[in-house]
């Protein structure tokens, strides 16, 4: 039996990437897994059972966790996302910054670990080496699914014939870098270009206020800016259906699900040229742009709005390339946790 950790998934009121991973894996694992919550689970496991978590945790949040990991009553597996709180503490939730070092150390006590990208795997193993940890579990890479809404993959047939609409999905915060998009869009609107920019995502309560304030100011000046604070999967899919391209100017990711989810909808993605994103962008359907380069991003947006041949080529690439799905990720887990 796989005891699947749903401690936070069941209580969360928002749809972050972490929640997406937990929810979709639970869907696809189906009857092979039993959802448990740390506070109510009795933690009784047989020798052939597995405890699997894709959540973030600490000893303070989950009493006796260390004791449980060291008891070896059953076997334990975890999905690791990223080390962003250590690399960017000045723009990361304080709770995450405080928790992350102990979280990374606790991962060393698991029987198996999957990282959500090769770059993420290297970060975790690098942290363990830096800490001098010699007894660590094997770390494999688990390809996360692109099929976010359980719908059939969209493959556009009228390549390039799109509204002048752009969409960017992600919580409003410095790491997601919406300020860069607003700067680039303001330049193009001021030049007289007519297009729509849709920003989708809640506001980070610690760092998002200046971005929201900038959105409100620009909304009064330019009719093309639309902010969607709350949008379910159906609403997001509707925005993708109209979009000429998605925009992902992030400065740090563990995997980059918005890129994959955009391609699943048949929508090309203009993304930061980060190593972690190259793992999925290099295969096609994406336009990689120098990270945090305002001039380069302004030029890239101008291109996707005006260059029909470019958009048509990217749409064909998005439609014909291979994309991972959540059923494959769950199948890999089931096979390894048997």
Could you give all domains of the chain from N- to C-terminal order, each with its CATH number?
2-145+325-336 (3.40.50.2000), 165-320 (3.40.50.2000)
Question: What confidence score (pLDDT) does residue 146 get?
Answer: 97
Q: What is the rounded distance in angstroms from the CA atom of residue 214 to the CA atom of residue 66?
A: 44
Q: What is the rounded distance in angstroms from the CA atom of residue 308 to the CA atom of residue 4?
A: 46
Question: What confidence score (pLDDT) does residue 231 get?
Answer: 87
The winner for highest mean pLDDT among 6-20, 40-54, 274-288 is 274-288
pLDDT (mean) for 197-211:
97
Under the banding of pLDDT at 50, 70 and 90, the label for residue 161 is: low
pLDDT (mean) for 42-53:
93
Percentage of the residues of the chain whose pLDDT score is greater than 90:
88
Instruction: Please compute, for residue 49, the number of CA atoms within 13 A of its CA located in the half-sphere on the CB side.
Output: 14
What element of type H or E holds 127? helix 118-130
Under the banding of pLDDT at 50, 70 and 90, the label for residue 338 is: confident
Instruction: Tell me what the pLDDT averaged over the chain comes to.
Output: 94
Q: What is the rounded distance in angstroms from the CA atom of residue 109 to the CA atom of residue 8?
A: 21
Chain centroid offset of residue 169 CA:
10
What is the SS3 assignment for 153? Answer: coil
Q: What is the rounded distance in angstroms from the CA atom of residue 270 to the CA atom of residue 289?
A: 7
Percentage of the residues of the chain whose pLDDT score is greater than 70:
97
Query: What's the CA angle centered on 336, arms 330 and 337, to 5 degrees?
Result: 85
Q: What is the rounded distance in angstroms from the CA atom of residue 258 to the CA atom of residue 308?
A: 23
Under the banding of pLDDT at 50, 70 and 90, the label for residue 15 is: low
pLDDT tens track for 81-140: 999 999 999 999 899 999 999 999 999 999 999 999 999 999 999 999 999 999 999 999
Query: What's the CA angle centered on 289, arms 285 and 295, to 5 degrees?
Result: 140
Query: Is pLDDT above 60 for 12?
Result: no
Question: What confidence score (pLDDT) does residue 271 get?
Answer: 98
Query: Is pLDDT above 80 for 31?
Result: yes
Under the banding of pLDDT at 50, 70 and 90, the label for residue 151 is: confident
Query: Is pLDDT above 80 for 226?
Result: yes
pTM of the model: 0.94
């Amino acid at each position: 039996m796989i005891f699947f950790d749903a401690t936070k998934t069941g209580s969360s009121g928002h749809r972050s990437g972490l929640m997406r991973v937990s929810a979709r894996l639970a869907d696809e694992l189906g009857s092979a897994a039993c959802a448990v919550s740390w506070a109510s689970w009795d933690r009784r496991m047989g020798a052939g059972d597995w405890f699997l978590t894709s959540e973030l945790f600490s000893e303070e949040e989950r009493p006796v966790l260390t004791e449980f990991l060291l008891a070896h009553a059953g076997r334990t597996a975890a999905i690791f996302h990223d080390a962003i709180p250590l690399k960017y503490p000045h723009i990361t939730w304080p709770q995450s910054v405080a928790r992350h070092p102990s979280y990374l150390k606790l991962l060393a006590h698991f029987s198996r670990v999957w990282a959500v990208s090769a770059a993420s795997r290297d970060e975790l193993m690098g942290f363990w080496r830096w800490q001098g940890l010699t007894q660590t579990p094997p770390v494999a890479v688990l390809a996360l699914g692109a099929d976010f809404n359980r719908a059939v993959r969209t493959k556009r047939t009228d390549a390039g014939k799109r509204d002048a609409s752009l969409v960017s999905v992600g919580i409003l915060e410095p790491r997601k870098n919406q300020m860069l998009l607003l700067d680039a869009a303001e330049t193009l609107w001021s030049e007289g270009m007519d297009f729509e920019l849709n920003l989708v995502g809640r506001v980070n309560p610690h760092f998002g206020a200046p971005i929201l304030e900038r959105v409100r100011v620009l909304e009064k000046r330019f009719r093309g800016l639309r902010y969607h604070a709350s949008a379910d999967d159906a609403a997001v899919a509707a925005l993708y259906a109209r979009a000429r391209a998605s925009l992902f100017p992030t400065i740090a990711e563990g995997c980059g699900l918005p890129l994959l989810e955009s391609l699943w909808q048949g929508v090309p993605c203009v993304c930061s040229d980060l190593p972690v994103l190259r793992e999925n962008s290099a295969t096609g359907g994406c336009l990689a742009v120098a990270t945090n380069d305002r001039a380069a991003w302004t030029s890239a947006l101008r291109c996707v709005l005006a260059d029909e041949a470019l958009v048509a080529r990217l749409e064909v690439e998005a439609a014909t390339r291979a994309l991972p799905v959540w059923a494959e990720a769950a199948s890999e887990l089931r096979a390894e946790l048997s």
